[in-house]
Each structure stands twice: as C-alpha cells, then as structure tokens.
C-alpha cells in the first residue's frame, strides 16, 4: 500500500477547481471512509487516500480523493475560521497540528 502523498497541515489545491485548502485528516488507501459520509452517500473509488480539508476563504470542509489534489506552493495561510481549532501554528508554508 502506497503512503499518502499529503500530510496533516499541508496546503493543497483542488486540481480541477483551483481552490486552496489545508489537510486536517487523512485516510490511507483502502482505509474505511464510510463513517465520513452522510447517509445515502457513497464513494466510487475507495482504493486511494482520502483527505478531509478546510477550504480557504470559507467556513467549510470537504472530503477529497488524492487524485483531486495538487501541492500548493504559494506559502500563504488559509482563511477558514476552523483553522485555529485544528492547528496551533503556521511556519514554513504548513500548519502544525494541535496535539490533543
């Protein structure tokens, strides 16, 4: 099984739509993602890494497959009101996960 390409706190961009986001949860390839879904939803491809991300310039999160993401090299922070709940700092273009 391949390691996920992205890590907690890493800033990424949606490959097709272009919006920026920060990874706050990772499910490795083949890992269960059903508990992340709303009732009635299903995923076409469970055999890849999936990421929960906080979306820039919004107050929401998204569930994205690895193939939907590319690395963001802008070095800019994410504007999302939930960032401070999940991360404790920003340095070197990535966030430091808050230790619970």
**pLDDT score of 100:** 66
| pLDDT value at 36 more than 80 | no
**pLDDT score of 41:** 42
- Give the domain ranges of the chain: 11-97
Give the up-direction half-sphere exposure of residue 8: CA atoms within 13 A in the CB hemisphere. 13
Q: State how far the Cα of 69 lies from the Cα of 41, in Å rounded to an integer.
A: 21
pLDDT band for position 85 (cuts 50, 70, 90):
very high
Q: What is the pLDDT of residues 44-78, one digit of tens each?
A: 555 678 999 999 998 899 989 899 999 999 999 99
- Topology of 11-97 in CATH? SH3 type barrels. (2.30.30)
């Amino acid at each position: 099984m391949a390691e996920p390409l992205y890590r907690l706190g890493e800033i990424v961009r949606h490959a097709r739509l272009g919006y920026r986001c920060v990874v706050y949860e990772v499910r490795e390839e083949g890992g269960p993602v059903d508990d992340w879904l709303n009732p009635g939803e299903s995923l076409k491809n469970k055999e890849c890494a999936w990421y929960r991300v906080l979306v820039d310039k919004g107050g929401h999160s998204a569930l994205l497959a690895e193939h939907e993401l590319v690395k963001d090299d802008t070095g800019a922070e994410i504007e999302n009101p939930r960032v401070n709940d999940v991360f404790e700092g920003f340095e070197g273009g990535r966030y430091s996960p808050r230790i619970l």
